[in-house]
Chain A
Amino acid sequence: KAGVTQTPRYLIKTRGQQVTLSCSPISGHRSVSWYQQTPGQGLQFLFEYFSETQRNKGNFPGRFSGRQFSNSRSEMNVSTLELGDSALYLCASSLDGLSNQPQHFGDGTRLSIL
């Protein structure tokens, strides 16, 4: 069974640009969550999607947005990039996003802002 796939693995952007990251969950998983990981802040929850609807959201500015498609694949978009957005962005999927279900993570997209 294929795991969670994130593309691209690495990205370099400059301030002010925008970026789109992609995540394909494990087949059959309908919940997709996104996290930002930085050395100083650890893993911070961005948002969770289920059946194409954002069901839960963390404390990030509106520059961070996402969407989920009918096949459960998800994209995350960050607009007007700032230096502080440099981080590892992790996507995780679970069957239904219930609190008792473990999440399965992808390898992440490492975003560097110059």
Chain B
Amino acid sequence: AQKVTQAQTEISVVEKEDVTLDCVYETRDTTYYLFWYKQPPSGELVFLIRRNSFDEQNEISGRYSWNFQKSTSSFNFTITASQVVDSAVYFCALSEGTSGTYKYIFGTGTRLKVLA
């Protein structure tokens, strides 16, 4: 069965600190996709990144970086030099299925508080 675990319920850091949000997933499919979304207080989930199961390259986008490791079924998200605007709930999600019967499974989210 598919499952996404975000063990960290809430993390507080001081501005400019680096922070890593953990995501561990379970799936039996060989083809699947992993996503990270950000949910600011306004409520709308904002898509950040997608990674497919065949691409284990790490990715960096500005202060954000993602580390995908199939060997440990993890897809961790690091924010470097955090800022107050990074305060939000972050969700990791897994999607599998190849045609019309996909299902998105979300983790329970990690609330990040960046203190000034």
Contact = CB atoms under 8 A, between A and B. Distances in A.
A55 B96 CA distance: 15
Interface in A57-96: 88, 90, 92
For chain A, what secondary structure do more than half of its interface residues adopt (helix, strand, loop), or is it mixed? strand
Interface in B68-113: 91, 95-109
B30 interface: no
Interface of A: 3, 33, 35, 42-43, 45, 50, 55-56, 88, 90, 92, 97-100, 102-108, 110
Which 6 pairs of residues, A with B, have the shortest CB-CB distance?
Answer: A99-B102, A105-B45, A43-B106, A42-B108, A102-B47, A99-B95
Contacts of B42: 107
A45 B95 CA distance: 12
Contacts of B20: none
